[in-house]
C-alpha cells in the first residue's frame, strides 16, 4: 500500500465506494429508462451505455461488401467495448464513489450468444473479466410488443446478422434473447 491511497487506508480515513448496477434487456430505450430509474435515489451516478468506444458506429457505416458479422464477431466487439467502458467510465466513477448503471451489461450479451447458438462456456470465459455488479435489473419487453428498434445492442446485432428486412428471423432471435435472459434470471 504505497502512496496517498495507502496512507489514507492506514490512517482509518474511509474513501467513498461506488457501486455497479447491471441493467439488461433487449430494448435500448427501455434499458436507458430503467438505468435512470435505478439511479434516481442515488446522489451521484451515471449511465454507461453500450458502444462507448464507437466500434459499433464504425460497423454501422461499413460497406455491405464487408459481409454480415457472425455472432462471435459481434460478441468479441461487445467485449472489447465493455472493456473500454470499464476502463474509461465504470471503474473510475466507482473509485470516485459514484454509482454506475451499465446498460446493457454482461447478461444481455450472454443471452444474445445463447440465442445465437454459442456455447455457454465460451460466453462465460469471454466475459470473465467483467466485475460482478452490486445489483442486477432485467427489463422485459411487454407481450405483443413490436420488434425492438436497432437502438440497442440486440436490435443492432440482429439487423447486422439477419438484416432489417427479415422480420421473422429477427423476431426469432430477439425472442431467443428474451428467453435466455429469463433463464439466467431464474438461475440466480
Contact partners, residue 130, CB within 8 Å, separation at least 6: 82, 86, 105, 106
Give the residues of the chain that fall short of pLDDT 50.
Answer: 1-11, 14
How many other CB atoms are there within 10 angstroms of residue 151's CB atom?
A: 14
Beta-strand relationship, 45-49 and 135-139: unpaired
Domains of the chain: 17-186 (3.40.50.300)
Q: What is the pLDDT of residue 165?
A: 72
pTM for the complete prediction?
0.87
Q: What is the pLDDT of residue 187?
A: 83
Whose grid coordinates read 472489447? 80
Q: What is the pLDDT of residue 7?
A: 41
Q: What is the pLDDT of residue 143?
A: 67
Amino acid at each position: 500500500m504505497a502512496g496517498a491511497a495507502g496512507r489514507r487506508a492506514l490512517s482509518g480515513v474511509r474513501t467513498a465506494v461506488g457501486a455497479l448496477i447491471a441493467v439488461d434487456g433487449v430494448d435500448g430505450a427501455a434499458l436507458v429508462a430503467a438505468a435512470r430509474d435505478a439511479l434516481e435515489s442515488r446522489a451521484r451516478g451515471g449511465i454507461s451505455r453500450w458502444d462507448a468506444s464507437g466500434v459499433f458506429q464504425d460497423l454501422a457505416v461499413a460497406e455491405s461488401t464487408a459481409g454480415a458479422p457472425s455472432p462471435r464477431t459481434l460478441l468479441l466487439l461487445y467485449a472489447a467495448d465493455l472493456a473500454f467502458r470499464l476502463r474509461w467510465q465504470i471503474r473510475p466513477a466507482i473509485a470516485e464513489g459514484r454509482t454506475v448503471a451499465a446498460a446493457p451489461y454482461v447478461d444481455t450479451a450472454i443471452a444474445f450468444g445463447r440465442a445465437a447458438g454459442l456455447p455457454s462456456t465460451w460466453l462465460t470465459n469471454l466475459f470473465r473479466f467483467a466485475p460482478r455488479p452490486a445489483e442486477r435489473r432485467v427489463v422485459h419487453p411487454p407481450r405483443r410488443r413490436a420488434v425492438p428498434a436497432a437502438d440497442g445492442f440486440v436490435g443492432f446485432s440482429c439487423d447486422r446478422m439477419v438484416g432489417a428486412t427479415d422480420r421473422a428471423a429477427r423476431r426469432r432471435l430477439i425472442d431467443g434473447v428474451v428467453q435466455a435472459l429469463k433463464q439466467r434470471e431464474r438461475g440466480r
